[in-house]
Chain A
Amino acid sequence: MAFAKPLATLRSSTGIPTGRLAIWWVLASEVVIFGGLLGSYLMFRLGHPEWADAAAVTNVWIGAFNTFVLLTSSFTAVLGHQAAERGDGKQAAKFLFMTIGGAATFIMVKSYEWTTEILHGYTITANGFWAFYYTAAGLHAMHVIAGAVIMGFIAVDAWRGRELQRVELIGIYWHFVDVVWIFLFPLLYIAK
């Protein structure tokens, strides 16, 4: 199907390129989604000190490793952006593939972690803490997977030297996913 970008997409009355403008608005809406969920969790957690017993079970080392993985993937994502700015599509794609690798690692570690926890009886219905744990981390994980898939498409395009400006955009989204985890980590693993 022949699709041509309309002239509207190329205009920029604000000075911000259209794609980047849109991504910021996506992030604004995601802030209120995760903010609503984490805010609700915080209210319950602060009102239920006894949840500390349930939360003690989460493995801070796995959480820290996953944090390390996501931080690294953010690093490779921004390096990809740097390469795209130079016009080097192939290098940008390589960095994006590394980022996707980080995403995959994150998901695999999380699967292992969750499987272990579920087999020990810590299911989503076990109590309030675990309900929030799986919901919040699960929603985050879904965003990781979705982001990785879209990043794959952008990486393939970049490899062919096309639509390089999108490398920055998926990078911004990716950093947001990282930031959410930066807050989930202490909430669910450290200051339990």
Chain B
Amino acid sequence: MAEHNESHGHDHGHDAGHGDAHHVNYKRIYLTLLGLLVVSVAGPFFGILWLTLLTAFGIALVKANLVIQNFMHLKWEKRIMKWVLATSLVLMFLMFAGVSSDVMNHEGRNWENVAAQAAVERGIGGAEGEAEAIEVEPVEAGFSAQNTYNLVCATCHGRAGDGTGPAGAALDPQPANFTDPAFWAERDMERIVTVIRDGGAAVGRSPLMVGWSASFTPEQIQQLADHVATFRPSGE
């Protein structure tokens, strides 16, 4: 093992393109970088937008170039690696060009990003105080039987529980209609819970109604059953 390590002493001799490195004054570059940093921080204080952008990003480009060429020694590196790095940079511009028309814009031919337009108009309040989260229906904020029903069950059973959900149209038999008194005539809550949990096949009915025991806890299933019961026509 020792002989392989020793051989690395020879490696420095093979650093062919490295002779010029010692003529770079690293200290001068460093101080230049610091100076540029000061300028870029000072930029916004003039309050002129284009000046701020110029100092912020223009200087960033200059600083990055200084670091890359002089500290990383890309100046003296073989051309192939400059091409490789340039390619990766060009690909980023390509990606930006291809994607921005969809993500940066909020409208185009025949489409509008309504949510984003609303967000822009609404603005983000509270620059002077606590940040406020945008009011949205929380997705993970605890279990809501109504939300879950609307998400999971209504596609077949309908928002109004009448069995007319869009996915149910093609089914045979049709999904159960919870607003039909005849439905409730022969069923009790225990049966509702069983069917939600184990599926229609568990009570000898259609397997098109699948069981949800893998997706919800018993408490959640009970809440779902209670929600189904709210569709029951009054007077029964």
Question: A interface vs B, CB < 8 Å?
Answer: 2-5, 10, 12, 14-17, 21, 24-25, 27-29, 31-32, 35-36, 39-40, 42-44, 46-51, 53-54, 56-57, 60, 64, 67-68, 71-72, 74-75, 77-79, 82, 85, 87, 120-122, 125-127, 129-130, 162-165, 171-172, 175-176, 178-179, 182-183, 185-186, 190-191
B79 to chain A, nearest CB (A): 10
Contact B72 A176 (CB under 8 A): yes
Contact A85 B53 (CB under 8 A): no
Tell me whether chain A's interface is mostly helix, strand or loop, or mixed. Answer: helix
Contact A190 B4 (CB under 8 A): no
A176 to chain B, nearest CB (A): 7
Tell me whether chain B's interface is mostly helix, strand or loop, or mixed. Answer: helix
Question: B interface vs A, CB < 8 Å?
Answer: 1, 4-5, 7-8, 11-12, 14-18, 21-22, 26-27, 30, 33-34, 37, 40-41, 43-44, 52-53, 55-57, 59-60, 63-64, 67-68, 70-73, 77-78, 80-81, 84-85, 87-89, 91-92, 95-96, 99-100, 103-106, 116, 119-120, 122-127, 130-134
Partner of B8, one of A12, A32, A165, A185: A165
Contact A182 B60 (CB under 8 A): yes
The number of A-B residue pairs with CB atoms under 8 Å apart is 183
Q: Which residues of A contact B26 (CB under 8 A)?
A: 75, 78-79, 82
Docked CA distance A125–B92 (Å):
27
Q: Which residues of A contact B64 (CB under 8 A)?
A: 179, 182-183
A174 to chain B, nearest CB (A): 9
Q: Which residues of A contact B18 (CB under 8 A)?
A: 85
A53-B99 CB under 8 A given contacts A17-B14, A75-B26: no
In the complex, which residue of chain A has the Cβ closest to the Cβ of B123? A50
Docked CA distance A7–B8 (Å):
12
Q: Which residues of A contact B81 (CB under 8 A)?
A: 16, 21, 24
